[in-house]
Each structure stands twice: as C-alpha cells, then as structure tokens.
C-alpha cells in the first residue's frame, strides 16, 4: 500500500489507522532518512493503541516503553548502534514479539538478523518539507 501525505498530521493519522489492524506480538519496522517522519508515524501508532503519554524519539535511549489500552508499545530506535551486538547486549531480543506488546523499530536494518517475523514494513520517503511517500508492506 502506498500513501502520499502532505502534512505531519496526515502521517500521524496514517500511523493511527494502522494501529487498528495490529494485535499483540506484531512487529513494525520504520525506515526512511533522518527527518522523514518515522517518529511522527510512531506517535500516531501509539495514539491508535491508546497510549496517553507523550511519545518521544528513543534515539538517545534506544528504547521506550508505553502502556496502551490493550497492548504496550515497545519503541526502539537503532540509529546510534554500530551493529546488532549492541542491541543484543541491551536486551533487545527479550522484548521483540512479546504477545502483550506491539514492537516498533526505527532503523531496523541494523538488527535485521534478530527480527524474524515482521508484520509491517513501513518506508517513509521525504519528498519535500510537507510531503511524504509512505509505503506499507
């Protein structure tokens, strides 16, 4: 599925609508260049899951956990990792795919050998300041 969004709000709403299709244990990967809107999309997912806390980018912390209405949201950002062994050392493998949570991974290519069953692959391409091309597979 391909979508063209023309605002942050539309990217957010697209994430929110995807959340309605998810079930515990699902894994979503988010790819795209810096500033493409991966975290905006993740914020929409979070709201769609009933997360009421403010969702922040986990770039400097690697991982953030949020309580949702039905499932928790595990939000990972692998951007600062040099390789998958750092994720393993941080306990990443203990969280992915848990039945009580939805796992969202930004920059998932860095841990691709650790993630076996991806439910949705989301690629967000920066077109211009407001426009994004979002592909969900």
63-66 long-range Cβ contacts below 8 angstroms, 24+ apart: 63/90, 63/92, 63/95, 65/101
- Name the CATH superfamily for 2-136: P-loop containing nucleotide triphosphate hydrolases (3.40.50.300)
Query: What pLDDT is attached to residue 61?
Result: 67
Which tokens belong to 117?
């069953």
Tell me what pLDDT residue 110 has.
76
* pLDDT at site 17: 97
pLDDT at 131: 96
pLDDT at residue number 73: 95
Q: What is the pTM of this model?
A: 0.89
For the chain, residues with pLDDT lower than 70 are 58-61
Please give the pLDDT value at position 50.
95
């Amino acid at each position: 599925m391909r979508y063209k969004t023309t605002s942050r709000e539309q990217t957010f709403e697209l994430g929110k609508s995807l959340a309605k299709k998810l079930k515990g244990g699902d894994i979503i990967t988010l790819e795209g260049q810096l500033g493409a809107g991966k975290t905006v999309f993740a914020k929409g997912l979070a709201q769609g899951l009933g997360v009421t806390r403010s969702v922040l980018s986990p770039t400097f912390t690697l991982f953030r956990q949020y309580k949702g209405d039905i499932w928790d949201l595990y939000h990972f950002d692998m951007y600062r990792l040099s390789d998958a062994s750092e994720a393993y050392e941080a306990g990443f493998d203990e969280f992915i795919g848990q039945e009580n949570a939805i796992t969202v991974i930004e920059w998932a290519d860095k841990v691709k050998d650790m993630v076996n069953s991806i439910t949705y692959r989301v690629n967000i391409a920066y077109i211009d300041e407001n426009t994004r091309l979002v592909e969900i597979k």
